[in-house]
Every structure is written in C-alpha cells, then in structure tokens.
Structure 1
Amino acid sequence: MKKAAVLFPGQGSQYLGMGREFLELDGAARDLMEKAEKQSGVGLTKLCLDGPMEELTRVLHLQPAITTVNLICWQALVRALPDFRPAFFAGHSLGEYSALCAAGVVSPRDCLALVTRRGELMEREGAKRPGGMRAVLGLTVDEVESLLEDFTGGMVVIANHNSERQVVISGDLVGLGGFSDVCSRNGARIVPLNVSAPNHSPLLGGAVEDLAAVLRDIDFNRPSVPVVFNVTAEREEDPAAIRSIMARQI
C-alpha cells in the first residue's frame, strides 16, 4: 500500500449540512456531537446542519463545529479501516488541533476544550481589531511580499503560503481592500475567505499569551504518528515545543 497522509481542514471549509450523513446514520457521531455541545456550550448540531451561515462562521462557533466534524470523520475512518496508519498528519490552521488529537497528542475532550477557548480568544481580539482574510491566486509568495513592501494603505500580512501561486493575506478591512486592488492590477484573482477574523496576523496578537496559558494546563503526549506543523513546516515530537508552536500558530 502506498503511503498516505491525513490533512484536516480548518476555517473556511464550512458549509451548511456538514456532518449530516454521519449524524443521521452513526450513533458514535451523534454521541461525540452531543459531548461537544455540552462542553462548548454551543448548539453545534443545529448550526452545522441548518445554520444560519453567519452564526456558523463566527469564530466562536466555527472552531468547535469544524473540529467536532473532523473528529467524527476521523473516528469513522478508524472504525472502517482499523489497520490504516498514515505516514503523517497535518492540519490547515484550526485543523492542526484535529491532527494532534488523531495523533494522540491530546484527548478528544482536551482538543475540544482548546479549540473552544481558542475561538473565544480569537473572537475577542477580532472584535477589538476587525479584519478578514483573502486568497491571492496567480502570484507567488515572493511577488506578494514585494508588493507588500511598497504598500502603506493599512495592516496586511501574508498569513498562509498554500501553494506556488496561492497565498492568503490577512489584515484590517481597509488594508485588505487596498492591497487586493494592488494584487488585481498585477494579474491576481482575489477570493475573500469565509472567516470572521484576521487570523494569523498581528491583529490577533493579544490572544497568544492567553492561549499559551491554556495550553500549559493541558496534558500533551508525544505523537504516535508524525505531525507536520504549519508554523515550522517540520515535524515535532516534544510536547513543550508543540505547545509553543500552537500558541504562535494563532
């Protein structure tokens, strides 16, 4: 069998009806969803199935929602393929917490506690400093960095380097509008992301220390399967180092 990796999605991947098939047919999925609802205090089933999308997309709701659906899917895969062992795990932003859970670094309960608190902190900082994120398609990361060097119309940073010609920018609303125009004039296509905060930007910096304090109170284990991290693009096995990476990742 060829080697396989498991990549968990993050914010922006949500849609109304996500998880419906599992919740209708799988008692274990319903049990996990019920536990997540009690732990987060959020009506996740209704939000995932019926929305409204505006409420589902609030970072406060979205982080436990996506994480719960991720874990439901993973647990179903493990039951269906008990001998399946991926070569490594990874997660796109928020999805990295699901990867840590799948790799045995944190328990499902602690994973949901972390993403619930992370969502609260990010919503708090996003309310103080509103912003958003946009994908820049058609330009390399070097080209976007070069354009940013001359841009003075607001706070904008590169948040994600997804592929050779897909870069995600994050920042305040004025800056995003102005810099999107700059990129468009240089041949890029701009796609606004369906998120409610300027994730992975200094605008959310006020959440880092608070999240680090939460992470210190959670038991972390060494991964049973390697996890490749967003911040470093490398594997890490030391629990203390993983905590630090996850705080910086916000």
Structure 2
Amino acid sequence: MLAVVFPGQGSQYVGMGRALVEGFPEAREVFLLAEEVTGLPLGRLCFEGPEDELTRTENLQPALTAVNLAVWRVLAKKGVSPVFVAGHSLGEFSALCAAGVISLEDTFRLVKLRGELMAQAGETAPGAMYAVIGLARERLEEVLAEVPGQVYLANHNSPEQIVISGEEKAASEAAERARAAGARRVVRLAVSGAFHSPLMKEAAESFTEALWKVPMRRASVPVVLNVTARAETDPERIREALSRQMLSPVRWVESVLFMYHQGVRNFLEAGPKRVLSGLIKRILSGKEVRILQAETPEEMDKALEGLGRFE
C-alpha cells in the first residue's frame, strides 16, 4: 500500500522544479496556470530565485505548491495511485488538490492568500519558532508550562524533533530552558511569524472567510489531516479542519503512524528535497517500509521503478 506525501515550507531551494518543467508538458501546464491565477512569476522564482525573494512567505507558499502539484501531475499520469495522501502544513493543500477536494485554480488562490495572511500576521503579531531536537515531548511540555507568555507546541515532526512557536520573548526563553533541560540542539527557524499557534488567530479568521467560499468535493483518496491525524473524505469536515490548521499543531508523527497502522508500507514524497522522507524514516525506525522521493525526472524514474519492484 502506498501513501503520497507533500512537503511544506522549509523544503524549497532555488532551482526546484526546473528539470521537471523542462521534461514534462503536464508539469509546465501546472506552472502556467499557477502564474495566471496568482499573478506571480513562479517559474522565475523557483528556477532562478533570488533566494531571499523566493523564501518570502507570500511567494514561497504558491511557489512550493506549484512544484508539488507539477510532480503530482506527472506521477498521476504515470499511474501512481495511493491509498492515502497527506501533506505537512502548507503541503496539505497539495494533498487536497491531489485528492480532488479543491480544484487546481482554487488551490493556488488559497495558498496565495494563506501566504499573504501569514506574512501579514508575522508583522502585526511578531513571533518566533524553534526546532527542539532530542528532548521528549512530555519534558518539553513541562518546560513550556513554566514559561510566562504565549509559547506552544507547533509541529510534532519526529520522535526527536518538535517545533515550538510563540511570542518572541516567550519562545526565546522556552528555547533556552529546553537547552538547559537536555535538548541536544535548539535551532531558530527562518520564518516570519509564530505559525501553528493562537498568534495566527486574525490570519486564520480571514482565511476561514475565504475558505467557506471555495467549492470542495468529496476526496477521491482519503486525506490524513494535520489537525486530526486521521483520514477524511467528507468535504465539510475537511473544510472545518482546514479552518483550524493555522492555529493548531501539525501532528505529523501521529499522521505517519496512522498510515502505517492502516497497512501503508510505501511512502512517496512528491516535491523538493527529502525533509519528509527523513522524518518518516525516523518515525518508523526499525519498521520495514520503503521511502521514495520524486522531484526531478531522474528521481521520478527511480521512484516508479521502486514502486514497480514492490508490487
């Protein structure tokens, strides 16, 4: 059984998607439509940068989504048929589009708006995010409870890596206390705000208004949602979960374990880099699973060959 997973912010690099667009007309069509809908030069940003312009939240969200969905279009044309799809944070919108819940056009409208709102929130309610590595979740929760101000668990990425998010002062103090409590590493993330926390309340409210205007269809493939870490096909329940996504933790560990316990033994990361592949490997350490990755034509061929051998 196969699950296709889509990466989110942090997986980008200058040059992503170029070889795919040059090699496959269906990938080129995704980029052309994405540029038409968003009005952004996504091809130039992805293929040439500059990096500081690409990584601006309002540009990055539609840019990375274009790469993810260009990869998916090629995979789908080649007959890849997963039993689940999932995406990490921003990547969830790629998963919903792949499952037919949201049209390609509406997906790009939504991620453009999401990027703009999250960038604005970073200016009006400044915050910070830190990756805490090598400290148990229970101990980190104890640390956060001792810190004055607003700081929260934001992403449970792997058994070893948890991201915290909150007000600048509170998040910084929590990071120092996590180090003192025995964290192996604590790394500040290069993001513009306190994502996946209640500090996104204003952005989430504006996004929800837009979300309720977008037509959604029943998922053709169950989507494992960030907010619940469970599979869903009902469009209204998906819409409700999406309205809470900016405010809620990304339950990635639970999502991967859910898919594994449902019988998934093949995971294919559709998008740039290998961030999710690395996380899945750590989550399912010691388990017999195959983790594949596809973005370039060469990776695509290797992934398809690997899936063929597994069948």
Instruction: Name the SS of the counterpart of 1:217 in structure 2.
Output: coil
* Residue 232, structure 1, aligned to residue 228, structure 2: yes
2:72 paired residue number: 74
Runs of 4+ residues over 6 Å off in structure 1: none
Measured in 2, the distance between the counterparts of 1:132 and 1:77 equals: 36
Q: Which amino acid aligns with 2:97?
A: C
Alignment check: 8 A CA contact 2:220 2:233 kept: no
- Ranges in structure 2 where 5+ consecutive residues have no aligned partner: 247-311
* Structure 1: segments with no counterpart, 5+ residues: none
Deviation at 1:237, TM superposition (A): 2.2
Aligned residue in 2 for 1:6: 4
Contact 1:33–1:44 under 8 Å retained in 2: yes
CA distance in 1, matches of 2:69, 2:217: 18
Cα offset, 1:220, TM superposition: 0.5
Which of 93, 96, 118 matches 2:92? 96
Corresponding residue SS for 1:163: coil
Q: Which residue of 2 aligns with 1:39?
A: 37
User: Please, which of 111, 116, 120 is the counterpart of residue 116 of structure 2?
Assistant: 120
Higher alpha-carbon deviation: 166-175 or 70-79: 166-175
Question: Which residue of the other structure, out of 175, 198, 204, is the alignment partner of 1:180?
Answer: 175
Task: Say if 1:126 and 1:203, in contact at 8 Å, map to a contact too.
Answer: no
Separation of aligned partners in 1, 2:25 and 2:83: 29
CA distance, structure 2, for counterparts of residue 54 and residue 171 of structure 1: 23
Q: Which amino acid aligns with 1:104?
A: G
d(CA) in 2 for partners of 1:116, 1:139: 35
Residue 253 of structure 2 is matched in structure 1 by: none
Kindly tell me the number of residue pairs found equivalent between the two proteins. 245
Matched residue, 1:212: 208
Which one of 188, 195, 207 corresponds to residue 192 of structure 1? 188
Give me the TM-score of the superposition, normalised by structure 2. 0.76
Q: Establish whether residue 169 from structure 1 lines up as the match of residue 164 from structure 2.
A: yes
Superposed displacement of residue 166, structure 1 = 1.3
User: How many Å separate the matches in 1 of 2:182 and 2:4?
Assistant: 33
- Aligned 8 A contact 2:86 2:95 in 1: yes
Asked if structure 1 preserves the Cα contact closer than 8 Å seen for 2:6 and 2:92, the reply is: yes
CA offset at residue 172 of structure 1?
2.6
The equivalent residue for 1:57 is 55
**Deviation at residue 175 of structure 1 after TM alignment:** 2.5
Letter paired with 1:23: V
State the match for 1:86 in structure 2: 82
Structure 1 position 245 matched with structure 2 position 241: yes
CA offsets per residue over residues 192-219 of structure 1, 9 Å max, x none?
Answer: 3232222101111101221111111111
Compare 88-97 and 207-216 and name the one that shifted more. Answer: 207-216
The percentage of aligned residue pairs carrying the same residue is 48
| RMSD (Å), alpha carbons | 1.3
2:223 is paired with a residue whose SS is coil
Would you say the 8 A contact 1:103–1:224 is kept in 2? yes
Rounded Cα–Cα distance in structure 1 between residues aligned with 2:29 and 2:62: 15
Amino acid in structure 2 at the alignment position of 1:184: R
